[in-house]
Amino acid sequence: MRHDHLITSKQFSRADIETVLDYAAEIDADPSAVADRHAGTLLGLLFFEPSTRTKMSFETAMKRLGGDVVDMGSIESSSVKKGETLADTVRVIEGYADALVLRHPKEGAATMASEFVDVPLVNAGDGAGQHPTQTMLDLYTIRENAGLDDLTIGIMGDLKYGRTVHSLAYALTNFDAHQHFISPESLQLPREVVYDLHQQDAPGIREHDSLEEILPSLDVLYVTRIQRERFPDENEYQKVAGEYQIDSDTLEAASDDLTIMHPLPRVDEIAPEIDETEHAAYFEQAHNGVPVRMALLDLLLSDDKAIGGEGDE
């Protein structure tokens, strides 16, 4: 039976999120209970952009569910190099795999590709668009460290090109969360994202150009990398590179309970001296990718379960 594709965090209702997070927590507590659930299942990996965490944690998750992966490999070694279209590539690989995971530099690529395949397709990042599975592990980490309701979160850095930010911001509108967006003016959230967030009746959306004024009130600070590869002009990157760095001096004004997150990879946004403090949750966050993706894959691949709204009717 066909299940929905997972393209954007806008698909997630609060109930969907709670189902996935509860199930991920169950798997985290006893992974052996699901070790054979998807024996013989093959997950197709199509990564047209670099990835360490996302790709390896999908691979680990599929293997820990008893399945395996088939990997297109690098663009350099695939037929893409010969000029094959994305539509053709996904149609071929769906014949080899039970579900597909796609990362692509072009916003909208996952939506387009999903229209050509019948197996579930998961968006693992489409340009500056969305990264919904990262959002699930972010939500899992927030829930574990600070709770999702009555949350005050600061999201800082490259809000323009950061797809993890766009996905997380939409998902948080399902909760009683106050979201503070901190960036230089040139890297503010795209106006259409701000518009959509307001349409969701999100309780508190505020934009700032400095962390200082808001830091003491934050439960979570979600730091992001400036997405250098998405800047049309390297000079524009150089103007903002190195802004908004966090070190122990910055944190003097923070609450003792502040949780610092980052989707990783970091460049220089968080000084290494923070790593050993109680604030740092970013490595735990990366590790949470495995149980969360196990839960998501199981829900997408099982006939009796549904996420993402319409399910398998």
**Active site positions, annotated:** 53-54, 82, 103, 131
183 touches ligand NCD by CB under 6 A: no
Structure-token pair, residue 269: 């946004």
Q: Number of residues in contact with ligand NCD, rule: CB under 6 A?
A: 10
164 touches ligand NCD by CB under 6 A: yes
Answer yes or no: are the C-beta atoms of 193 and 128 closer than 8 Å.
no
Strands 68-71 and 99-104, how do they pair?
unpaired
131 touches ligand NCD by CB under 6 A: yes
For residue 243, the minimal CB distance to ligand NCD (Å) is 15
Which of 134, 179, 188, 288 is close enough to bind ligand NCD by CB under 6 A?
134
Per the DSSP assignment, residues forming a β-bridge with 184 are none
Which one, 54 or 174, has the nearer CB to ligand NCD?
A: 54
Which one, 229 or 247, has the nearer CB to ligand NCD?
A: 229
For residue 225, the minimal CB distance to ligand NCD (Å) is 4
SS3 string of the chain? CCCCCECCHHHCCHHHHHHHHHHHHHHHHCHHHHCCCCCCCEEEEEECCCCCHHHHHHHHHHHHCCCEEEECCCHHHCHHHHCCCHHHHHHHHCCCCCEEEEEECCCCHHHHHHCCCCCCEEEEEECCCCCHHHHHHHHHHHHHHCCCCCEEEEEECCCCCCHHHHHHHHHHCCCCEEEEEECCHHHCCCHHHHHHHHHCCCCEEEEECCCCCCHHHCCEEEECCCCHHHCCCHHHHHHHCCCCCECCCHHHHCCCCCEEECCCCCCCCECHHHCCCCCECHHHHHHCHHHHHHHHHHHHHCCCCCCCCCCCC
Q: Is 150 left (phi over 0), alpha (psi -120 to 50) or beta?
A: left
* Contact pattern from residue 241 through residue 270 relative to ligand NCD, giving x for each residue in contact according to CB under 6 A and a dash for the rest: ----------------------xx------
For residue 47, the minimal CB distance to ligand NCD (Å) is 10
129 touches ligand NCD by CB under 6 A: no
155 touches ligand NCD by CB under 6 A: no
For residue 161, the minimal CB distance to ligand NCD (Å) is 9
For residue 234, the minimal CB distance to ligand NCD (Å) is 17
Answer yes or no: are the C-beta atoms of 294 and 267 closer than 8 Å.
no
Strands 68-71 and 121-126, how do they pair?
unpaired
Which one, 172 or 226, has the nearer CB to ligand NCD?
A: 226
Q: Which of residues 38-67 bind ligand NCD (CB under 6 A)?
A: 53-54
Which one, 193 or 306, has the nearer CB to ligand NCD?
A: 193
163 touches ligand NCD by CB under 6 A: yes
Which one, 289 or 306, has the nearer CB to ligand NCD?
A: 289
Q: Which of residues 79-108 bind ligand NCD (CB under 6 A)?
A: none
125 touches ligand NCD by CB under 6 A: yes
288 touches ligand NCD by CB under 6 A: no
Which one, 189 or 306, has the nearer CB to ligand NCD?
A: 189
Which of 225, 231, 244, 282 is close enough to bind ligand NCD by CB under 6 A?
225
Contact set with ligand NCD (CB under 6 A): 53-54, 125, 131, 134, 163-164, 225, 263-264
